[in-house]
Amino acid sequence: MKLSVIIPVYNSQQTILSCLDSVYSQEIGEYNIEMEVIVIDDGSTDNSLILLEKYKVENKKSNLYIFHKKNGGVSSARNYGINIAKGEWIAFLDSDDIWLPAKIRKQFDIILSSNVRIDFLGCARNNEKLRILFRHINTLYKANVTDLLIKMFPQTSTAIVRKSVLDVAGNYNEKMRYAEDGELWVRICASSNFYYYPESLVITGNGKYNFGASGLSSNIKKMQAGTEEMLYLTYSNNIISQSQLYIFLFFYKIKYIRRMLIVMFRRG
């Protein structure tokens, strides 16, 4: 069984080495997993590329493959990695995130021991608890498209997916700058078995809030525009009906107002 880990990098000199250490510290257990680590430097202007090359040589990581490309955005970098990946499974990891040591082993424990086919498996991060409207997700859970539109989950660095599923659903939409994960997750969910495991196995963004951590309302406005774009694309792909489109547009507007109020409250 081969696993391809895809890590996009852009000006990540402060975090990329810790990120890589977390990959190479994985406790694979009894599984015979051949792992390739694909790092795509997306036109960094800092010392990220130098640090990566030094890490590869000093740690003798023959399965670490480093590529440099012109800046095209995180979706472009991830697609670059997907297209050259040789693994049966793809795992995504952002350069400022960290996997806990048991992350991959526990996900494969679930995938290989389950009596159902699992095509996509995400997990919790930062010790957060997932709630979809009034339901608390406390066990392995098969999500549907409506779930994902109500609550955009899971975070990218928690996800592992069959490459064959991406071949059917398609890769990232490189025109999107916000909600690109959610748009891809919905396409995957609509055509395959999409599961979530509630154990927290990843640390993302130093444990910051999901939104508004910087206190910039402009970021939330861009996120809102991205989620609306994601909804229209989901509708154009015949995954949701026109009535569902209007319902969720209204739903996202309410969430947007709530988020803006929370940011204002945090500012004091």
* 199-230: pLDDT as tens digits: 999 999 876 655 444 445 668 888 999 999 99
Q: Where are the domains of the chain?
A: 2-207, 217-267
Q: Is the dihedral of CA 46, 48, 49, 55 positive or negative?
A: positive
How much of the chain, in percent, has pLDDT values that exceed 90?
Answer: 85
Q: Does domain 2-207 have CATH number 3.40.605.10?
A: no
17-76: pLDDT as tens digits: 999 999 999 998 778 899 999 999 999 999 999 999 999 999 999 999 999 999 999 999
Average pLDDT over residues 145-168: 97
The secondary structure of residue 105, as a DSSP letter, is H
Say what the pLDDT of residue 215 is: 44
Burial of 113 (0-12, 13-18, 19+ CB in 10 A): exposed
Q: What was the pLDDT predicted at 229? A: 97
**pLDDT band at residue 138, thresholds of 50, 70 and 90?**
very high
216 vs 115 pLDDT, higher one:
115
Of 125, 111, 97, residue with least CA distance to 23: 97
Instruction: State the Cα–Cα distance between residues 24 and 20, nearest whole angstrom.
Output: 6
pLDDT of residue 102: 96
